[in-house]
Amino acid sequence: MARIGFIGMGNMGYAILKGLLNSYGPEDLLFTDKSKERCEMVGKETGVRFMEGNADVAKNVKFLILAVKPIVYPAVLKDLNGVMQEDQIVISIAPGIAVSTVSEGLGGFRRIIRIMPNTPALVGAGMTGYTLEEKLFTQEEIGEARGILKSFSEIVQVEERLMDTVTTVSGSGPAYVYMFINALADAGVRYGLTKKDAIRMAAQTVYGSAKMVLETGEHPEVLRDNVCSPGGTTIAAVAAMEEAGFRNAILKGCEACYLKSSGKI
């Protein structure tokens, strides 16, 4: 019996699997995917075993990670209905799918942890929000679940009502950051850099600035002010960006994400 199993080995399943391989051996892991080619490719690359049926994987693991798109959930839950045993734990990733919906689909099984990771998990720098009903698990199980999540990301526990907010900020967040990096790099190209150098400069600037926020504990506004000398170049850029609606573009984008995630649009 393996410790952790995956149903779905796409972008997110693979990112989590790679993270887990930093602290678990291939023999602790098991997966399946609809595509046999994908199974063979990932199995060959990582040494992790795969099985063909969803229920077969479910029967052979302590923690079962559901890493399929929300649209596929009804079919997967149908495969697993009545299969899960009381000593097992399901980890559900899909945005917008409530714990109660997963529980219903699994025939009343309740030991479900809902998480929202992001793809930087692939490089061990993910951010995951999670929610669980503590009384349904032992402290050891919660500790192990947190350890699983920590093997590929930082973690924050939230109430379930905030999971759409987690999707809005960190789940979808990498896409906004990539847009920013590319726009900053385009500016570099506009003023003479190669795209390759410009992307490297922009990405390292985002990485270093994020590190400053996390490691100094300073408010981003204070760090920004520290870079803006009176009458200088940076404040000129900041003022022009504000005039063009920088903050508002981000708030508007996040509003669309939140409404989509919470099923309001």
Ligand X SMILES: NC(=O)c1ccc[n+]([C@@H]2O[C@H](COP(=O)([O-])OP(=O)(O)OC[C@H]3O[C@@H](n4cnc5c(N)ncnc54)[C@H](OP(=O)(O)O)[C@@H]3O)[C@@H](O)[C@H]2O)c1
Chosen residue from 75, 210, 250, 251 binding ligand X by CB under 6 A: 75
Annotate each residue in 165-194 with x if it binds ligand X (CB under 6 A) or - if it does not, as one string: ------x-----------------------
Among the residue ranges 17-25, 93-101, 156-164, 188-196, the one whose residues contact ligand X (CB under 6 A):
93-101
First-to-last alpha carbon distance for the chain, in angstroms, is 42
Q: Which residues pair with 155 in a beta bridge?
A: 128
Assign 3-class secondary structure to 114-181.
EEECCHHHHHCCEEEEEECCHHHCCHHHHHHHHHHHHCCEEEEECCHHHHHHHHHHHHCHHHHHHHHH
Chosen residue from 2, 4, 5, 13 binding ligand X by CB under 6 A: 13
Beta carbon of residue 124, minimum distance to ligand X (angstroms, whole number)? 16
Would you count residue 105 as binding ligand X (CB under 6 A)? Answer: no
Nearer to ligand X, 24 or 118 (CB): 118
How far apart CA 39 and CA 32 sit, in angstroms, is 7
Would you count residue 93 as binding ligand X (CB under 6 A)? Answer: yes
Q: Which residue is nearest to ligand X (CB)?
A: 10
Chosen residue from 23, 27, 35, 223 binding ligand X by CB under 6 A: 35
Nearer to ligand X, 89 or 126 (CB): 126
Site residues (CB under 6 A) for ligand X, limited to 119-138: 119
Binding site for ligand X (CB under 6 A): 7-13, 32-35, 38, 54, 67-70, 72, 75-76, 93-95, 116-119, 171
